[in-house]
Amino acid sequence: MRKGFTLVEILIVMAIIGILLSIIIPNYSSSVKRAKEAVLKENLFIIRDAIDKFYLDKKKYPTSLEDLITNKYLKKTPYDPFLKSREWRLIHYEPEEMEDFDPEIADAIIDVKSMATGTGLDGTKYENW
């Protein structure tokens, strides 16, 4: 009598492995995306908080993200986990229609947004976060 597995036994084991992988892989992919989204939200919050603190202390907005670093509001620019870069879309101050032009606030950064394309798990675009 020979020892070993039959073809049917091997096919059953491979089918079970395939079913388990088909369950695990989508859950893993969504977990990775959920983690990246959490990092993106946190990094946006950190930068926005630093901009607000800079404004409260200096009574003006920073003109670059480097201002936040040189004034010790940030150690370094947080990265965008989807783009794997430290580049952000900067939202500059726009004066009201009847407001006088002030060169000090012309380049002021009041907000940052992600440059990542795509949609989050909640259905909103990353560029709108």
Per-residue model confidence (pLDDT) at position 1? 66
**12 belongs to a structural domain:** no
Left (φ > 0), alpha (ψ -120 to 50) or beta: where does 87 sit? beta
Residue 125, pLDDT score: 95
- pLDDT-based confidence at residue 96 (cuts at 50, 70, 90): confident
List the structure tokens of 96. Answer: 């009201």
pLDDT of residue 112: 97
Q: What is the dihedral of CA 125, 66, 110, 101, to 10 degrees?
A: -130
Give residue-wise pLDDT tens across range 51-88: 999 999 999 999 999 999 999 999 999 999 999 999 99
Count Cβ neighbours within 10 Å for each residue of 78-95 and write b for 16 or more, e otherwise: bebbbeeeeebebeebee
Residue 60 resides in a domain: yes
Which domain does 99 fall in, by range?
Answer: 37-128
Average of per-residue pLDDT across 12-36: 92
Inside any domain, residue 31: no
Asked, for residue 93, whether it belongs to a domain, the answer is yes
In a domain, 24, yes or no: no
Reply yes or no on whether the pLDDT at 33 is more than 70.
yes
Q: Could you give the number of structural domains in the chain?
A: 1
Decide: pTM greater than 0.75.
yes
| 14, part of any domain | no
